[in-house]
Structure 1
């Protein structure tokens, strides 16, 4: 592989990971900050430990799906390995550019949507050039991923609603000191913050390093020293994500933590526990799921438990609108980026 192309891929992967931290992990941890259970600095420390643990222990399952589950890279690499490398670089950059724009406008978008859409864009470029046909794209895998995007916020909302309903009935309604009871739930929310960082690492780090893994694995790189290739890249992705959270994550944290609905420790605990459970279950079976969709659904669920007036539907409308355009924008951007990259590298 061309040295410049290899360096560009690593830098693009790190940039994508930084974006995931600034947007995706930020919205995952936003409920903890919004309920004032932890400060941003404390969240960063917890995220650094548990994001890395989730990535190294479970991240490999989803990495394989992102890397090779959507577009038949084996067929394309048989024609030219360089085309695959350039295509994955275009996909990473396309997804990362869109997430940067969304973060600038405080919108929590799905990094999973972004990378899946951009990889699909590369697949369509290959169809255009005749390297593969439309039927070669793994539409069934793509359909299962897309289905999870619609189901995950609903499941997150229902599960969070039920958890908060039980908490409110069993603890808050029977308490003579509600503020004191809420204070006790701070420690539970700290635990769920660790849980959700672990779940996020297990699923969403793959969005940054999946395309990298596909390319370096194709060229026969097995790893560095005692670490396998997947472990090295997962480590790179996890570090980039934590840096993204610590440097720019405050913008999306503010949206999720305070603008959708008022959050207390009991509500934040309910939303986070529901989200982490759904995400980790999908990571176990290797299915990319949107942490963003699940968490926003969960926050809406606990908000609805307090009545419709407790939820800011204007903010929700803006968030959901950004969800619908993410896949086509990422795919089109990848197609646009591929041609100048192809002119330079191919």
Structure 2
């Protein structure tokens, strides 16, 4: 009975992470469309949430990687999964608080690595899988998006260089609706699968599924798709401001190029089973679209802060994940430790958000003038 209680808590925590993933990464898909006024904020988040939901049903390759390619499945227990999820949620909320676009994917992977390490040592971590499936794609993907977006914007400017700006901007704003939809679809395809993989891993660890016949239950797919879609619809306005205007002052052609390049990279990675950071990809695309116009167009100080958040994501989420597992395991293998840590985390989040609300306006409202 105790193991079932832990499993239920893990599933709820995983869906909570999926929700934070949605609102944390809303900016990836729609910040450029809002910045260039291709879409109103509310229309953009509604569109993105729908395509995130649809994208979750396209492929399960990334879910398989998360469930079996990062850590040794035999060393995983529901409590280990719980610790990893707490590490990911904590880092997502911390970076969202400061408006930094960090990787929810790497936060989840880091949390799992830290939790497994504390539980079973370094031998339970698949180093080759981390290098091949996480580190290398993390380096290649934003660089590729940077290059593709840069080439795309140069071609775009050459093609429409003699046209009237008003006509050109209207055309690219319409194009951004398409590229924004494609990036949202790609985000759902890649990111929702990570939660599917984590829940499936917990089900295997609890004995509900066979480790020899990996498959993601339909109810897991539906629940994960719904959670990330609802999170997306809630919006992550602090990060939207960073992505949409603080890296570069974007025109519709640049927004179109950045979104198109990002969607192509993420969809390709999803097909290959790479748990890619959509944040890394779209940030690379935005910087590439700005730098191709002129290097000074990119606010490199803001870009440096984002890069620092990227570098800290894996180790910080791993530390928190290991700490969460360690605290849970103090009380033994039954449900008591998990329940106490869950209540502690809920209390800390409530206290932090309560303090913020008393000091100023709610963080989930759109930026001033965003509806204009």
TM-score by length of 2: 0.84
- The counterpart of 1:202, out of the listed 173, 185, 189, is 189
Counterpart Cα distance in 1 of 2:238 and 2:261: 23
Counterpart Cα distance in 1 of 2:170 and 2:330: 59
Look up the match of 1:152.
141
Counterpart Cα distance in 2 of 1:278 and 1:239: 24
Contact 2:52 2:187 in 1 (8 A): yes
Counterpart Cα distance in 2 of 1:229 and 1:285: 17
Look up the match of 1:327.
314
Contact 1:21 1:242 in 2 (8 A): yes
Structure 2 matches for 1:30-69, cutoff 5 A? 30-58=31-59, 60-69=60-69
Structure 2 matches for 1:123-134, cutoff 5 A? 123-128=116-121, 134=122
2:199 is aligned with 1:212: yes
Counterpart Cα distance in 2 of 1:102 and 1:142: 23
1:207-257 CA deviation, whole Å, 9 max, x = no partner?
A: 3332111111444546xxxxx844322322222222223324111111101
Contact 1:48 1:239 in 2 (8 A): no
Look up the match of 2:71.
71
Counterpart Cα distance in 2 of 1:47 and 1:217: 32
- Select between 257-266 and 97-106 the one with higher mean Cα deviation: 257-266
- The counterpart of 1:87, out of the listed 80, 84, 89, is 80
Look up the match of 1:101.
94
2:231 is aligned with 1:244: yes
Counterpart Cα distance in 2 of 1:305 and 1:4: 54
Q: What secondary structure is seen at the aligned counterpart in 1 of 2:25?
A: helix
Counterpart Cα distance in 1 of 2:65 and 2:37: 36
Give the deviation of 1:10 after TM superposition. 1.9
Look up the match of 1:143.
131
2:260 is aligned with 1:273: yes
Look up the match of 1:15.
16
Contact 1:189 1:268 in 2 (8 A): yes
Structure 1: runs of 5+ lacking an equivalent:
78-83, 129-133, 223-227
Q: Aligned-residue CA RMSD in angstroms?
A: 1.7
Counterpart Cα distance in 2 of 1:156 and 1:53: 23
Contact 2:138 2:280 in 1 (8 A): yes
Counterpart Cα distance in 1 of 2:177 and 2:87: 34
1:68-94 CA deviation, whole Å, 9 max, x = no partner?
A: 2111113x26xxxxxx11000110111
* Number of residue pairs matched by the alignment: 326
TM-score by length of 1: 0.90
Structure 2 matches for 1:109-188, cutoff 5 A? 109-128=102-121, 134-144=122-132, 145-171=134-160, 173-175=161-163, 177-188=164-175
Look up the match of 2:342.
none
Counterpart Cα distance in 2 of 1:332 and 1:152: 25
